[in-house]
Structure 1
Amino acid sequence: MTNHVAACGQMKVARLAQEPHGTHSESVLSFIRSGSLDMLHGETFTATQGMFVLVPGGMPHTLLSGSDLHVHWMSFCPDCLGLEPDAALLQPFQQVRLGALPALTLSGERVEFVQTLYQEFELALQQTLPLEVMKSFVFLLLHEVSLAQQPISWRAGMHPKVVAALSYIESQGLQPVSLQGVADAVFVSAPYLATLFKRETGYSVGQWLTKKRLGEACNRLMHTHTPIATLVEELGWSDTTHFIRQFKAAYGVTPALWRRQHSLKQAR
């Protein structure tokens, strides 16, 4: 069942082929019931049965492959649910933004409860739910994430300079930011950072900035009535035509049409 505020479902796939670098406006929390999923996030890693996989809204991510997958998933809009970026329930997602590997292992005694939560949420969404009920399901699942652990065998992940660059982009990415500006902020040369960032994330600094800004553009198109020309200036694009071209390449429709479609969904 899909909804911009919150959605829930499950997927069974015998073999998952590589998907190109992607991003979406909502945050996504998946739970692997069985099988395995290979992802790229600074390094290649494999998420297996009993793990949560976290993808923050607007965060670039790459699925490499998967086999015999049975996955429960939930997407949600933090703003719609009244969750501020620094909310305790969102801290695992914030850590992923700053370079932590996006997978956590759930303890065995919690697995049945979590699977039941996903299943009941999916069933409940087949009818129109009050916002408070949606929040209850989402908050319960996010609480389970806070109890999960990252596998001890996994190293911390990204190079400290890339983590510092991601932190800078997270705080300043909606301002006019360049590769040189990020490099200066983390005290390395621009060519060195460009090579390191691409190696660790699979993206250039410019690509990462664009995807972050596009994710924020979706958020503002949904939650404000700000004219698109004003959004373009607020989000750091040099001109409206360039913004529309990049938005359509990412989401398949123009910003104006995206806003109308999602406004209609909210109104239902």
Structure 2
Amino acid sequence: MTQYVNINAGYLEVDELDNEDHHAHEEYVITLLLSGYVTLKSNNATLIKPGTLTLVPSGFAHTLVKGKAMSVHWLSFGITDEQHAQNNDLFLPFTQIRQGALPIAQVSKTRLPFIITLFEEVQRACSENKPDVVLESLINLIISEAASASSISPVYLGHETKVSKAMQFIERRCCDGISLKDVAQAVHVSPAHLTTKMKASTGYTVGQWIIKHRLKVAINRLETTADSIEHIAQKLGWSDVTHFIRQFKKAYQITPAAWRRRHTIKP
């Protein structure tokens, strides 16, 4: 089972939205629009109508251009093992979106009540601090429903951008001591060109994305192994454990040791 971290969910009502800032999320995001409309712009502008699931992969640059009278369920989560997720059929819709497919799935009227219930159950599980396995099961069901509802086919796929390819390389190799130069070489562009494109598209640098994904792997190790914090830091590429702890606390507002205590189930 894919392990999720930083799971958050909620329900929003927005009267009007106009030209939200261009950005990319560190987490994966799934939304279900219940009423109103909103236009999402990535490579192209897509009008999202009620009964539509929107799937936004981690690091996927997008802008909400215009929306009105919206009510929406939303869910966000990080993944501790991106390479496993990329090889998991469940995550095929996210892979296809990175390859140029539209980031939406129209839900049938017969499935809509069930999917709404799933979002509500995720929200309840988050608020009641239910075990991780409960949240993971609910998220997998939502993704499965999106995959079933999606009409994505190879005919509609475009070309992956250099930024998208760079993001996937970072996700796969973040703990291998890679640098900006390595990422640029992997996608066949200069470091300067990739730096400009990555920052403009996602709001973060290549180095920042490498750290973000390494920290997610660190979370997995903290929760699933008894390795010392020093050993985890060293294995994942930090030569200075103090620097690792500082970056971890900056990202999650908690130390690695405190995270482990909070998320480890005692026998």
Report if TM-score (shorter chain) is over 0.5. yes
Q: Give the residue type in structure 2 aligned to 1:179.
A: L
Cα deviation digits, residues 201-253 of structure 1 (max 9, x gap): 22211111111112222222222222111221222223222222221111112
Q: How does 1:93-172 map to 2 (within 5 A)?
A: 93-95=94-96, 98=98, 103-109=103-109, 110-119=111-120, 137-149=138-150, 160-172=161-173
Q: Give the residue type in structure 2 aligned to 1:107.
A: V
Quote the Cα distance in structure 2 between the aligned partners of 1:215 and 1:45: 31
- Give 2:174's aligned residue: 173
Cα 1:101–1:199, aligned 2, differ >3 Å: closer, same or farther? Answer: farther
Q: Which moved more, 1:197-206 or 1:29-38?
A: 29-38
Determine if contact 2:37/2:68 at 8 Å carries over to the other structure. yes
Quote the Cα distance in structure 1 between the aligned partners of 2:113 and 2:50: 13
Q: Where does structure 1 lack aligned partners over 5 or more consecutive residues?
A: none
Q: Give the residue type in structure 2 aligned to 1:104.
A: I
Identity rate, percent? 34
Determine if contact 1:35/1:70 at 8 Å carries over to the other structure. yes
Deviation at 1:36, TM superposition (A): 5.1
Determine if contact 1:30/1:71 at 8 Å carries over to the other structure. yes
- Give 1:257's aligned residue: 258
Determine if contact 1:173/1:213 at 8 Å carries over to the other structure. yes
Cα 1:171–1:62, aligned 2, differ >3 Å: closer, same or farther? Answer: closer
Deviation at 1:138, TM superposition (A): 3.9
SS in 2 for 1:29: strand
RMSD: 4.2
TM-score (ref. length: structure 1): 0.70
Q: Give the residue type in structure 2 aligned to 1:241.
A: T
Q: How does 1:3-18 map to 2 (within 5 A)?
A: 9-14=10-15
Quote the Cα distance in structure 2 between the aligned partners of 1:250 and 1:43: 31
Deviation at 1:8, TM superposition (A): 5.6
Cα 1:101–1:221, aligned 2, differ >3 Å: closer, same or farther? Answer: farther
Quote the Cα distance in structure 2 between the aligned partners of 1:139 and 1:210: 26
Deviation at 1:176, TM superposition (A): 0.7
Determine if contact 2:24/2:202 at 8 Å carries over to the other structure. no
Q: Give the residue type in structure 2 aligned to 1:202.
A: G
Quote the Cα distance in structure 2 between the aligned partners of 1:178 and 1:28: 27
Aligned residues: 254
Cα deviation digits, residues 69-123 of structure 1 (max 9, x gap): 422234668789xxx5222212223445x46578313234333332234345656
Determine if contact 2:56/2:103 at 8 Å carries over to the other structure. no
Residue in structure 1 matching 2:26, options 1, 23, 26: 23
Q: How does 1:220-231 map to 2 (within 5 A)?
A: 220-231=221-232
Q: How does 1:224-243 map to 2 (within 5 A)?
A: 224-243=225-244
Q: How does 1:174-213 map to 2 (within 5 A)?
A: 174-213=175-214
Deviation at 1:197, TM superposition (A): 2.1
SS in 1 for 2:177: coil
Cα 1:243–1:127, aligned 2, differ >3 Å: closer, same or farther? Answer: closer
SS in 2 for 1:175: coil
Cα deviation digits, residues 1-57 of structure 1 (max 9, x gap): xx9697765344556886986535xx553322234567786788775533323355x
Q: Give the residue type in structure 1 aligned to 2:106.
A: L
Cα 1:201–1:123, aligned 2, differ >3 Å: closer, same or farther? Answer: closer
Quote the Cα distance in structure 1 between the aligned partners of 2:120 and 2:45: 30
Quote the Cα distance in structure 1 between the aligned partners of 2:100 and 2:160: 11
- Give 2:91's aligned residue: 90
Deviation at 1:174, TM superposition (A): 1.3
Cα deviation digits, residues 129-149 of structure 1 (max 9, x gap): 798876664443222110233
Cα 1:258–1:158, aligned 2, differ >3 Å: closer, same or farther? Answer: farther
Q: Where does structure 2 lack aligned partners over 5 or more consecutive residues?
A: none
Quote the Cα distance in structure 1 between the aligned partners of 2:130 and 2:255: 30
